[in-house]
Structure 1
C-alpha cells in the first residue's frame, strides 16, 4: 500500500523565514499603533470641537442679550442725562456732547458719545 504525502501549498512560505517575518511584524505593529493613535486623537478632537461649539453658542447668546440691552438703553440717552453725567454741550461742532475733563480727574481726551 502506498501512502501519499500531502503537500501544503507554498503560499505562506514567508511565515517560516525570519528575515521576512520580523519586518512584517514590526510594520504591522507600527501600523496598528498609528491607527490607535489617530483614532484616539480624532475622538478627542471631536469632543473638543463639540465643546467649542457649545461655548460659541453661549457667547452668541450673551452677545444677543447685551445687544438688546444696549438698544433698550440707547433710547434713554438724551441731552439732560448727558449734562447730569458731566458732559458739556457743543453747539458749534457736529459732536453731540463732549465729556468735561475738569469735572473728572482724568487725562482721557475724546470721550465723545
Structure 2
C-alpha cells in the first residue's frame, strides 16, 4: 500500500469523494474522521505520512487541535477549505491549502508539493 493519509471532513460525501481520489492516486486512507474526537484519536495514534483536514468540522468546531497534534508529531497536513488564504491561522503554521471544491489533479498536486 502507499503512503497513509488521514482524512478529516464532517461532510460525508466530500470525505467519500476524497477517499476515492486518494485511493486512485495510490494512497492508503486513514479514517475518514467526521468529528473532532475521532480525528484526534487517529492523529494521535496512527502511523501517518500526512493528513488532509477540513478546517470547519461544523457547529463552530475547528480542526485546529488536530493540526496541533500533527505538528507535534512532525506530520505535514493540508487544510481543505472554501475560505481561501484567510483560513490560515498562526496555530496552523505553514499548512498547505487545498481549496474547495477540488479535483483529483488538485489533490495530487497539493500532495506532491507537501510530500516532495
Q: Normalising to structure 2: TM-score of the pair? A: 0.19
> Which protein, 1 or 2, shows the higher relative CO under an 8 Å CA cutoff with sep ≥ 6?
2
Structure 1 or 2, whichever has the larger Rg, is 1
Q: Tell me which protein shows more helix as a share of its residues.
A: 1
